[in-house]
Amino acid sequence: MAVRRTITGFSNPTVKFLRSLREKKHRRREGKFLAEGLRLLTDARESGVLPEMLVMASGRASHPLLAELEDAVAAAGGEIVEMDEDILAKVTGKDNPQAVAGVFAEFDTRLTGVDRNAASIWLVAQALRDPGNLGTMLRTGDAVGAGGLILIDDCADPFSVEAVRASMGAIFTQRLAAARWDEFLPWLRSGPGQLVAASLREPTDYRSAAYKAPCFLLVGNESQGLPDTYEAECDLRVTIPMMGRADSLNAAVAGAVLAYEALARLGSSTTEESSYSAA
């Protein structure tokens, strides 16, 4: 049976707990993370993931998707909490907070849980430090029907509020794994998988490269790129031509360019063609 309660004070222990989830050390200790917004939480529900705690602003406008979400959390025995908007702003750290947020259990990010044959494309990022880039790569993976994102070495926390927000819900649709390089490489070589690096080291033009599934597209750190020893282990190194004065692309943008080219070459049995309009 769902637990329902209303919070009216800033000093409430639940408010302190929710605020603590904005910090990595507390997320790791609790094994929980915070996600904000009705759209994002709806994406989670449609992906089969429900928050353990649903937090809503008192006096919020009614919405059928919110009602469905509330019913689903209640049916699952989750906790439903209401609080004034100014208290919710303290929780999220935003002056104009979303009317709803959720607390989720962090996912298992071990490599052993990755089924490499589940998709023809996988994104891999090494030492990616910007949470916005990380979230964008998850979103790209969802768009191209990738299996997920594998984080190598010391990357930004994928469960930070910034990364979750930037993923636009893709954190709930993409398999997420994290490993050190000396763990990832033996795992990759233990089965099928082509490792393709975005590189300037004896590269092939990304438009003429021979991609093979399952294809693991590897991008490096935003400022330093990939270590030479990592590039040397790759099956294929590709470059994206630069026509202007810039000598490189943003890491997440480079990953997206490569992912769409690989998708065009490999096709995808896991996605259906869709159209969209940009506002």
0.75 exceeded by pTM: yes
Whether residues 15 and 79 share a domain: the answer is yes
Whether residues 180 and 256 share a domain: the answer is yes
Looking at residue 240, what is its pLDDT? 83
Q: Which of residues 77, 105, 133 is at a domain's end? A: 105
Residue 23 scores a pLDDT above 70: yes
Whether residues 70 and 24 share a domain: the answer is yes
pLDDT above 90: percentage of residues in the chain: 78
First CA to last CA distance, the chain: 42
The answer to the question of residue 262 being in a domain is: yes
Looking at residue 277, what is its pLDDT? 34
Residue with the larger pLDDT of the pair 1 and 174: 174
Whether residues 120 and 241 share a domain: the answer is yes
Distance CA 219, CA 125 (A): 5
Residue with the larger pLDDT of the pair 214 and 201: 214
Looking at residue 271, what is its pLDDT? 40
The answer to the question of residue 274 being in a domain is: no
Whether residues 70 and 16 share a domain: the answer is yes
Residue 269 scores a pLDDT above 50: no
Chain-wide mean pLDDT for the chain?
90
Amino acid sitting at position 202: E
The answer to the question of residue 272 being in a domain is: no
Residue with the larger pLDDT of the pair 273 and 143: 143
Looking at residue 222, what is its pLDDT? 80
Q: Residue 76: which residues within 8 A CB-CB, separation 6 or more?
A: 2, 50
**Which of 27-41, 102-116, 246-260 has the least mean pLDDT?**
246-260
Q: Which of residues 105, 123, 158 is at a domain's end? A: 105
The answer to the question of residue 279 being in a domain is: no
Q: Are 197 and 230 in contact (CB under 8 A)?
A: yes
Looking at residue 200, what is its pLDDT? 77
Whether residues 37 and 101 share a domain: the answer is yes
Residue with the larger pLDDT of the pair 68 and 275: 68
Q: Tell me what the mean pLDDT of segment 123-133 comes to.
A: 96
Q: Look up the domain containing 187 and give its range.
A: 111-266
What would the two tokens of residue 71 be?
């019913």
Number of domains, the chain = 2
Q: What is the CATH number of the domain that holds 19?
A: 3.30.1330.30
Residue 273 scores a pLDDT above 60: no
pLDDT above 70: percentage of residues in the chain: 92
Residue 275 scores a pLDDT above 80: no
Whether residues 239 and 123 share a domain: the answer is yes
Whether residues 93 and 119 share a domain: the answer is no
For 225-262, what is each residue's pLDDT tens digit? 899 999 999 999 998 876 666 556 688 999 999 999 99
Q: Residue 172: which residues within 8 A CB-CB, separation 6 or more?
A: 43, 44, 47, 49
b/e per residue, 56-75, with b = 16+ CB within 10 A?
bbeeeeeeeebeebbebbbe
Q: Which of residues 50, 79, 105 is at a domain's end? A: 105
